[in-house]
Amino acid sequence: MEPGTSTGESGRPAPASAAAAEDARDPAAVAMAETIERLGRSSVSPFLATPGNLGFRVPHGIAAYRRVRGWAVFATAPAADVGHESDALDGALAHAAANGLRPVFAAVGDPEPFVDRGMYATEIADDALVALPGFTLAGKRRASIRHSVSAATRAGVTVVPYSDEHFDGLARVSEQWLRTKRGGELGFTLGTFGRAELRSAECRVALDADGRVVGFVTWRRFDDGRGRVLDLMRRAEDAPNPTMDLLVASSLLEYSALGVAVASLGSVPRSHGQLAEHVYATVSLRRYKDKFAPVWMPMSLVAPSARRLPGALRAVTTAYCPDGMLRALRRNG
């Protein structure tokens, strides 16, 4: 087994601990996350280490999935050494078959290796990628962000790195944010709020002129530190309007100065009508991220075959919404 994974009596991998990021007694889960961070080159790769996923070793890398009935739901392709991606994918598919599971990959950037193996791919989302070398807020496409940053600064909003003294303020902001959403936190390839999660991510906190927490974002590392992906984005109900723009823009400028190659603002699912928008507002989210002038790269869902696509979609939906779609449609109170 890859360092960072473990197996139960059946030989199947055991779930990673939810507290792995802060619990030194669980070095296996910590090591698994570190391996994924080092080898994973997709912006979705960090979420292979999401608590509840089952991690296992493949040739030259590591893979992880969420078991949903007879499906192995992989967030993306295995994290593998350069030049050995094919061997790693074969290992992941062989593992699923050996355990009697049908594989589905929720978001892959290059579907060709899967199609070459007889699988079916369909574009399902787009990843918002920002090249960071030389990144600035200059230019027409980023004019609205530039103006927002100036407005937030004039309003007295500042951005600082997270420390534990901010936790209660972040918890208040997160609770307010959740009350405006439906179905709670989705998870799987979206982070959830908690002290351990904040410590394992790179978190930036917005403070108002009185030093009160009014928003925060978290970022996760991939490609051995050369990439960052935006995860949580939350602001207080009474935060100045440009707070989130300041948080994201200042993070991008900081990462550019540090020599990070690329930042993903996260994948946005393709819109599938009004009902789906009630669960996850893709149209407004895409419009917001487009203000940063990213390059939009297609992401594909991969199922065993076209005939299996409906079942694969249901399995992926369950991985995101384990309490069911009805729960996801309810507004939090």
Query: What is the Cα–Cα distance from 187 to 165, expressed in whole angstroms?
Result: 25
Residue 223 forms part of a structural domain:
yes
Average pLDDT, the chain: 87
Residue 116 forms part of a structural domain:
yes
Measure Cα distances from 88 to 23, 57, 60, 121, 290 in Å: 29, 9, 6, 19, 34
The whole-number average pLDDT for the span 178-197 is 74
52 and 162 fall within a common domain: no
Q: What is the pLDDT of residue 282?
A: 79
244 and 315 fall within a common domain: no
Full residue range of the structural domain in which residue 67 is found: 27-126+299-329
Residue 124 clears pLDDT 50, i.e. is over it: yes
Residue 43 forms part of a structural domain:
yes
Per-residue pLDDT reduced to its tens digit, 211-265: 999 999 999 999 999 999 999 999 999 999 999 999 999 999 999 999 999 999 9
228 and 157 fall within a common domain: yes
Q: What is the pLDDT of residue 129?
A: 98
Contact 63, 32 (CB under 8 A): no
308 and 274 fall within a common domain: no
Which one is predicted more confidently, 52 or 129?
Answer: 129
Which one is predicted more confidently, 327 or 163?
Answer: 163
The whole-number average pLDDT for the span 34-45 is 97
The whole-number average pLDDT for the span 162-184 is 86
146 and 254 fall within a common domain: yes
138 and 284 fall within a common domain: yes
Per-residue pLDDT reduced to its tens digit, 77-110: 999 999 999 999 999 999 999 999 999 999 999 9
Q: What is the pLDDT of residue 158?
A: 98
Q: What is the pLDDT of residue 9?
A: 29
The whole-number average pLDDT for the span 309-315 is 97
Q: What is the pLDDT of residue 23?
A: 41
Measure Cα distances from 1 to 4, 60, 61, 102, 154 in Å: 8, 11, 10, 22, 53
175 and 303 fall within a common domain: no
Q: In 54-150, where do the E strands start and end?
A: 54-58, 61-68, 71-74, 79-80, 102-108, 120-131
222 and 274 fall within a common domain: yes
Q: What is the pLDDT of residue 273?
A: 57
Q: Which amino acid is at 125?
A: A
Which DSSP string do the residues of 252-290 spell out, in sequence order? HHHHHHHT--EEEEEEEEPP--HHHHHHS-HHHHHHHHH
For the chain, how many structural domains are there in total?
Answer: 2
Residue 8 forms part of a structural domain:
no
Residue 258 forms part of a structural domain:
yes
DSSP-based three-state secondary structure for 243: helix
Which percentage of the chain shows pLDDT scores above 90? 73
Q: What is the pLDDT of residue 29?
A: 83
103 and 213 fall within a common domain: no
Buried b (16+ CB within 10 A) or exposed e, 120-135: bbeebbbbbbbebeeb
163 and 243 fall within a common domain: yes
